[in-house]
Amino acid sequence: MFTLTPARAAVLRAVADTFIPSAAGLPSGSEGVDLDKLAAGIQAQPLGAQAEFGQLLDLLDKPVLGLTWFGPLRSFATLDLAQREALLQSWAGSRLPQLRKGFHALRKLCTFLYHGGSKTETPAAWATLGYPGPDAVQPAATERPIHTLTPTRDTTYDCDVLIIGSGAGGGVVAGELAEAGFDVLILEKGPYFHGPDFTQREVDMLGSLYDARGALSTQDGGIGILAGSCLGGGTTVNWAGAFRTPDYVLQEWAREHDAPHFTTLEFKESLNAVARATGVTTNYARHNGQNQALWDGSQALGQEVKLIPRNERGVDNSDAHFRALGYSSLGDGHGHKQGTVRTYLQTAFAHGTRLLADCRVERVTQAHGRASGAEAVYAPAGLPEVRVTVRAKCVVVAGGAIQTPALLLRSGLRHPHLGQHLYLHPTVAVAARYPHRMNSWHGPSMSVVNDTFTQLHGTNYGAKLETPPTHPGLLAMVLPWLSAAQHREMLTNADHLGSFIVLTRDRDGGRVTIDKHGAALIDYTLSEFDRANMLTGVKAAAEIHVAAGATAVYLPHGTLPTLRAENGTLQNPETLAALPALNWNANRFGLYSAHQMSTARMGGHAPTHPVRVTGETVELPGLYVADGSAFPACSGVNPMLTIMALAHYTAQGLKATLPVAERAMAV
């Protein structure tokens, strides 16, 4: 495991001070970055990645470092500030992928931890950004509606149905089956947070509620991946967008993957059922600055924009509710967002379901040719680990498209397509500066969508234009760093910044494998086809910013091409036209994913689809998959509602077939 030795800590302090030197009364990077939290983020990665990061720091501590940038043969900390910055700039543009990867790993960690508030006090930089910090109206302390198990010694549980994961997939299956009378047990890797537990501080919430403490990435470091890992999974930390699956996607899945149920009335009713249960609505009137800009700029260009359905209840147009909605990606302590913790898991708990949070499942077990339960470790923070064994008549895996295939592979499944076809909805941010305050960290993170570019060149592939959360940690991490002065200037008065995201429906995917310890490894390279569609979306986003009144648009490449505009007119169109000619290899630009899909894809052709249309795995009877990994291909929209509908549909089949499985097991 990665160890933060005194020498490595000294290197990190020097690195942080180079990315963020002290200025104008602001603390330096080393004063604002909690190195213990940085180390915890590294220790949440696979062991190979931990070793690689340790080697990076050890290299920075040696004179041979000079060979990587043709500089003095001295260690990083002994260089003067200008030399240290020149070294980092050299690495950022290096032809060597490992140097670019090292630069971005250090940059993301330092800028996020500094601006996201890794230390307990209020970061001084927030005032410079114009960021007010967590909402003054904090959630009230109320009794938890769900009580989880807390075993203190090695324990065995028996149940009808074991569900691994509690998000959009597992939560729905649990609620449906428990209400139908089945004895259900849920194992969830992450913690259970409620009310005031959601502090609205980025570093703490990403570190607690997201997989790998929010630092999950592809092996080459080129794509940062946000995946919920807490009770409620992605429904606890997503941005509340509740999109229905486009008809053309459902028809494609039915036609190309021999999965006709996606176009049936029964699946539509599953979509309707989960939408009703989660309060999906477009009955809201207020947009934050960047959503209003997306609306206004799109309309000025004659492009259609629509309201995004959101799964929220009890929200009015008051300033208090408007502010609170801006923190939903960090967990909603006020209870407006209707994720599974507020809906299906409460139903499940009311009908006797047992839930065990902070429980890492090592493998699914088998007996008599069927799934028979699981072996797991209960590991709450700060307490001794406890071994957990579960004996079940049926197992449903719903750990998400990264962890589900990893678990199935650890459990001995070997279908050739298991872990393949990883789709990520690769996403870039296009930020812009406006002459007026945007305050985009308040209000719904996403309330407006432009679908003009979703089906490009006569295909079902293209890009959606939406908006992201813009709290300072993620904002600082996403915006390119060319120098300390440039980055500080860009973040000054960040309340005038607005961002759009280009969410690409990718045709050409990646894969998930496991290392020798069973940890998930993610490989993904953005194809030329998908990159071209992404850049079409980038161009459109830039033009919408200009039409909405932005004065500067920051294009999402590490060289920071910047557009200038006056009165809605672009002043340097040649910069935008030259964008496709730039080098778009990994770690030359910021690429992110909040949606992971299709690594255990469902379909009617067993040799190419690890999961049957019933949700049961091809290889192991009694083992089901009910999350985004079962999508035949990527959804093209924020996937929460589609996952919930697929889980609901799968649960209806389980209600009818599980007694058959019980009899088969008893024979």
Are 493 and 538 found together in one domain?
yes
pLDDT at residue 658 in the model: 85
SS3 content of the chain, % helix, strand, coil (to 5): 40, 20, 45
Check: CB of residue 608 under 8 Å from CB of residue 420: no
Query: Within a domain: residue 142?
Result: no
pLDDT of residue 285: 79
Residue 302 lies in a domain: no
Q: Is residue 303 one of the residues assigned to a domain? A: no
- Do 235 and 179 fall within a single domain? yes
373 and 271 in a single domain? The answer is yes
Q: Determine the structural domain holding residue 265 and report its residue range.
A: 155-214+225-240+243-277+334-419+598-666
**Same-domain pairing of 434 and 547:** yes
Q: Are residues 203 and 179 part of one domain?
A: yes
Q: Where are the alpha helices (DSSP H) in 44-75?
A: 47-60
pLDDT digits (tens, 9 = 90+) for 27-49: 999 999 999 999 999 999 999 99
Q: How far apart are CA 245 and CA 441, in angstroms?
A: 28
Looking at the fold, whether 583 and 605 belong to one and the same domain comes out as: no
Within 10 Å of residue 27's Cβ, how many Cβ atoms? 18
In a domain, 81, yes or no: yes
**Rounded Cα distance, 349 and 178, in Å:** 8
Does residue 355 form part of some domain?
yes
Whether residue 250 lies inside any domain: the answer is yes
User: What are the pLDDT digits (tens) for 385-423?
Assistant: 999 999 999 999 999 999 999 999 999 999 999 999 999
- Contact assessment for residue 637 and residue 242, using Cβ atoms and an 8 Å cutoff: no
Kindly state whether residue 551 falls inside one of the protein's structural domains.
yes
pLDDT confidence of residue 73: 97
State whether 550 and 462 are in the same domain: yes
> Which pairing describes strands 448-450 and 305-307: parallel, antiparallel, or unpaired?
antiparallel
* 293 vs 297: CA distance, rounded Å: 6
Rg (CA), the chain: 24
pLDDT score for 25 = 84
Residue after which a domain boundary falls, among 555, 573, 590: 590
Domain count, the chain: 3
Q: Quick one: tokens of 517?
A: 């310890």
pLDDT for 660: 41
CATH number at residue 162: 3.50.50.60
Q: Is 166 found in the same domain as 183?
A: yes
Give the dihedral of Cα atoms 559, 565, 571, 576; nearest 10 deg: 40
Please tell me whether residues 583 and 621 are part of one structural domain: no
Among residues 563, 590, 617, the one where a domain terminates is 590
- Residue 575 shares a structural domain with residue 472: yes
Scored b (16 or more CB within 10 A) or e, 633-648 reads: bbbbbbbbbbbbbbbb
Say yes or no: 393 and 268 in one domain.
Answer: yes
Note whether 435 and 564 are same-domain residues.
yes
State which residues of the chain have pLDDT below 50. Answer: 660-667
Inside any domain, residue 188: yes
Rounded to the nearest 5°, which phi and psi values hold at 15?
A: -65, -45
Separation CA 187–CA 379 (nearest Å): 12
| Last residue of one domain, picked from the residues 543, 563, 590 | 590
Per-residue pLDDT at 665: 40
